[in-house]
Amino acid sequence: MVCHLRKSLYGLKQSPRVWFEKFSNVVQQFGITRCEADHSVFYQHLSVGCVYLIVYVDDIVLTGSNNHDISQLKQHLCHHFQTKDLGKLRYFSGIEVASPMMVLLYLRESIPWIFWRKLGLMSSKSVDTPMDPNTKLLPNQGGLYLILSSIKDWLGN
Amino acid sequence: MTKMASVRLFIVMATLQQWPLYQLDVKNVFLNGDLQEEIYMEQPPGFVA
C-alpha cells in the first residue's frame, strides 16, 4: 500500500523546514515579530513591555518584562502544539543555567566592566562559552568564585 | 539554525534586566508540519492500522 502524506513525519528531509514554517506562522499570529538578523529569535515590543522568544528545533525559551505576557504567549503555543512546560530555564543549547549568577560567570565578556570592577574581579580570567562539556565540577574542589551577598547587592542596585 | 551568539545575548539580556527565563518543549515536533509537496511512502512492513 502506498500512502500520500499530508503532514510531515520524522525522517523526511522536509520535516525541519515545514516545522519551522508552521512554528513561525503560529508565533507571528500572536503578534510577535521574527528577527531579521536571526530567524530563530522573535520579539514583541509594546509600550507596556516586551516579550522575547528563541527556538531551537523543539526547545523554546521565553523571557520578557512581565509574567502576564509570557504566560499568554505560552498559552498560545500550548493551544497550537502539544507542549511541555519545563518551568524555569535550566539548560539550553549547551548552556546550563544553574542560577542567574552562574550565567553572569559564564558570560563574563558580555557583562559591563563596571560590574567586574565592583566585585574586584577585573584580573579574573575569562572562559569560553559554553563551558567545556567534560569539565567535572566537584563540591570540595577549588575556591568560591564570588561572595554571594555582593552579587545580591549588585542585582538589587 | 540558532546562532550561539543569539542564545548568549538572549540569556545575558534577560539576566541583566532580571527578567524570568522560561522553557517549553514541543512534543513530537516534526509531526506538526504541513507538507507543501506531494510525498508518497509505502506502508512500513509489519504496520497494522
Interface residue A85 vs chain B (CB under 8 A)? yes
Domain residue extents for chain A: 15-87, 89-135+146-151
* Mean pLDDT computed over B17-33: 93
* Mean pLDDT computed over B14-32: 92
Among B1, B3, B41, beta carbon nearest to A3: B41
Of B13 and A154, the structure prediction assigns the larger pLDDT to B13
pLDDT at B47 over 90: no
Interface residue A157 vs chain B (CB under 8 A)? no
Which residue of chain B is at minimal alpha-carbon distance from A18?
A: B33
pLDDT at A103: 52
pLDDT at B18: 87
Indicate the pLDDT class of residue A136, thresholds 50, 70 and 90: confident
Which residue of chain B is at minimal alpha-carbon distance from A81?
A: B26
Judge: B29–A57 Cβ closer than 8 Å, yes or no. Answer: yes
Buried b (16+ CB within 10 A) or exposed e, A75-104: ebbeebbebeebeebeebbebebeebbebb
Q: pTM of this prediction?
A: 0.68
Please name the helix (run of DSSP H) or strand (run of DSSP E) that holds residue A100, with its range, or none.
helix A100-106
pLDDT at A117: 60
* Mean pLDDT computed over A90-97: 75
Indicate the pLDDT class of residue A91, thresholds 50, 70 and 90: confident
Among B16, B24, B41, beta carbon nearest to A84: B24
Reported as a single tens digit per residue, the pLDDT across A17-48 is 999 999 999 999 999 999 999 999 999 998 88
A15-87 sits in which CATH class? Answer: alpha beta
Which residue of chain A is at minimal alpha-carbon distance from B34?
A: A7
Sequence-distant contacts of A111-118: CB under 8 A, at least 24 apart: A111/B12, A111/B16, A115/A154, A118/A150, A118/A154
> Nearest 5 degrees, angle CA A99-CA A83-CA B27?
105
For cell 528577527, what's the residue? A35
Reported as a single tens digit per residue, the pLDDT across A60-72 is 999 999 999 999 9
Indicate the pLDDT class of residue B48, thresholds 50, 70 and 90: confident
Mean pLDDT rounded to a whole number for chain A = 80
Q: What is the ipTM of this complex?
A: 0.86
pLDDT at A140 over 90: no
pLDDT at B3: 80
pLDDT at A157: 47
pLDDT at A48: 86
